[in-house]
Structure 1
Amino acid sequence: MTTPDRPQPISLPLPTIGPPAELSAAGGCGDGCACGDEEEYLDPLECGLDPGLAELLADAGLDPVHVEDVAHLAIEEDLDQGVDVTTVATVPEDARAVGDFTAREAGTVAGLHIAEAVLSVVCTDEFEVERHVEDGDRVAAGQRLLTVRARTRDLLTAERSALNLLCRLSGIATATRAWADVLEGTRAQVRDTRKTTPGLRALEKYAVRCGGGVNHRMSLSDAALVKDNHVIAAGGVAQAFKLVREEFPGLAIEVEVDTLHQVREVLDAGADLILLDNFTPAETAEAVAVVGGQAFLESSGRLTLETARAYAETGVNFLAVGALTHSSPILDIGLDLRAEA
């Protein structure tokens, strides 16, 4: 039995990191990867991160090598080819401590395993992790999320990079959960867009899933979305749809419309999904009646938490909310350090 407050695994093709061994003798996972192997291509689950952590990331629909690379990038940016001067000066090299990642406010958590990946690339000695909650769980202010036992220097050096990712992703999950709660009891689902942070799209879309939302296309190549500029370039909405269908038969095609007349046009042309741009709830209800279940419908524009329920109750399938990933505030999470007994 699945728990609705937690993200459910989805099937996503993992991007290929590095060429297969038969195509390149260099292989490997790229500069900075913890595997350090320059002789042959390695399976992502055998590279760098602890195999158990890599498995957890893969089960969540994330590429472990991508997560590892993000962790390396965050730490390398923070150290800037130097050392953590404050920590090195104030903390004995052999000191160990316990760190509790703790929620400062209520919300929905996402990115715990990603924070672990940051610790993994920083820690120069063995470290232990105790998980108190899972991604997708609702948490209260003051609740411990993750406890880590490690060298004090490593904990302090990893702190900000781990929290930057954890707070950002948990903020997205928390915002998404608010929308999912408003839509509960209708058939509509809140859906993200491609308005994501460069390099972090897979992680941010994962956070949306943690909050109870669903993902739109991951890239420009896995589905077609005919928008107003494509319509202008093609000479009409039905013509634009036809051209995409001819060029990429079998690909799912969504078409953006802004009038009921266009709804009828693209429905007759065979669109799989119709994006209703800036329709009012009343106009949306008319579009639902016109389509009559022959295509999926998605509302976009003019959407707020206050109006979401009105749109959902018209019978649309999705509400597209770009703000989930481009404007969500962080969830405040801190690291509380205590001496190891």
Structure 2
Amino acid sequence: MPLTYDIVREPLTTFLTEDVGTGDLTDSILTPRRVVGTFTAKTAGVVAGIALPACLGRILETDDLVYQPAVADGEMVAAGTTLATITGDVAHLLKIERTALNLMQRMSGIATATQQAVTALNDPTIQILDTRKTAPGLRLFDKYAVRCGGGVNHRMGLFDLAMLKDNHLATITDLPAAVQILRTAIGPSKRIEVEVRTLTELQAAIAANVDIIMFDNQTPEAVAYWATLTPSNIQTEASGGITLSNLPQFRGSNVTAISLGYLTNTVVNMDISFNLMHSADN
């Protein structure tokens, strides 16, 4: 799903208000004039959030901005690539500059990390998933960026997939019975996932006939073995302790997916600059 204006308007309004507040104090020295600004990639990476400057311009409720993206979300670009140009009154451009850059840099960093993970794993039979380890308020943007990098979104929140993790399991003595109660409570349209750390827990999850079983903090060898023990109607997921360096070891492990918290939890921003180049009348 693309980040349309209707989807991002509310959070972007909050972000812009956080920065602008009661008004930009430097407006008083700015002579009204139309200028051209350029977004440029200073490092190579995968682009995400290219539509956001235009959305921020709409929130300002001004009709003087003309935005022209030069690349698309999901596109790999080299350092020095012009990502977009925007034309408008200098005061308006400077109001949206920082919010646009903060989001585009973070999102492009996430997209780049995701693409690197997909490439390192090099196994089209296994999906690269994100997690709920996102910055509060940014989950919509973080998870969209993962998709731009070739990854797949795990659950958006606690509301769209029931997941029984270690702290849940510590309170449960009969997993199949608990899963049956849960299925009755949430209905057939919601899936149930269970995290397992031992063969005993794996066998209990299989007996409970859950939809997804997560192999938590297991070696590549254990993941591959446990996948052979799991019936084909149950999806499998490996998670915990998996990094870019050891991802290739999970190639061919026959799990459905590998979830990586670091994609959105340890973000290295892509370096993007914004510069006012000249008057639009030149």
Q: TM-score, normalised by structure 1?
A: 0.78
CA distance in 2, matches of 1:73, 1:292: 46
**Which residue number in structure 2 is paired with residue 273 of structure 1?**
212
Q: Which runs of 5 or more structure 1 residues have no equivalent in the other structure?
A: 1-8, 10-59
C-alpha deviation, 1:243, in angstroms: 2.5
- For 2:134 and 2:92, how far apart are their aligned partners in 1? 30
Give me the whole-angstrom Cα distance separating, in 2, the residues matched to 1:311 and 1:301.
12
What is the match of residue 177 of structure 1? 115
What are the equivalent positions in structure 2 for 1:25-36 lying under 5 Å apart? Answer: none
Q: Following TM superposition, by how much is the alpha carbon of 1:240 offset from its aligned partner in structure 2, in angstroms?
A: 3.1
TM superposition shift of 1:124: 3.0
| Equivalent-residue separation in structure 2 for 1:221 and 1:195 (angstroms) | 16
Cα distance, 1:65 vs structure 2: 3.3
- Residue 102 of structure 2: which of 139, 142, 164 is its match? 164
Give distance in 2, aligned partners of 1:245 and 1:123: 47
State the Cα deviation string for residues 150-171 of structure 1 (Å, max 9, x = none).
1111111211111111111111
Moved more, 254-263 or 288-297: 288-297
Letter in 2 for 1:212: G
Match of 1:249 in 2: 187
The alpha-carbon deviation at position 89 of structure 1 amounts to 3.6
* Aligned residue among 53, 78, 82 for 2:19: 78
1:326: which partner in 2? 265
1:143 to 42, 56, 81: 81
* Alignment: residue pair count: 279
- Greater than 4 Å deviation, 4+ residue runs: none
Output aligned runs, 1:38-57, within 5 Å. Answer: none
C-alpha deviation, 1:63, in angstroms = 5.8
What residue number does 2:146 align with?
Answer: 208
Q: 2:60 aligns with which of 112, 117, 122?
A: 122
Distance in 1 of aligned mates of 2:276 and 2:145: 26
Q: Would the aligned equivalents of 2:121 and 2:250 in 1 still touch at CA under 8 Å?
A: no
Pick closer, same or farther for the CA change 1:299–1:316 going to 2, 3 Å: same
CA contact (8 A) 2:220 2:249 kept: yes
Percent identity of the aligned residues? 38
**Distance in 2 (alpha carbons) for counterparts of 1:143 and 1:294:** 46
Tell me the SS of whatever aligns to 1:130: strand
- Of residues 241, 247, 261 in structure 2, which corresponds to 1:308? 247
AA at the equivalent of 1:110 = A
RMSD: 1.6
How far did residue 294 of structure 1 move? 3.2
SS in 1 for 2:140: helix
2:114 touches 2:151 (CA, 8 Å); kept in 1? yes
- Secondary structure of the corresponding residue to residue 306 of structure 1: coil
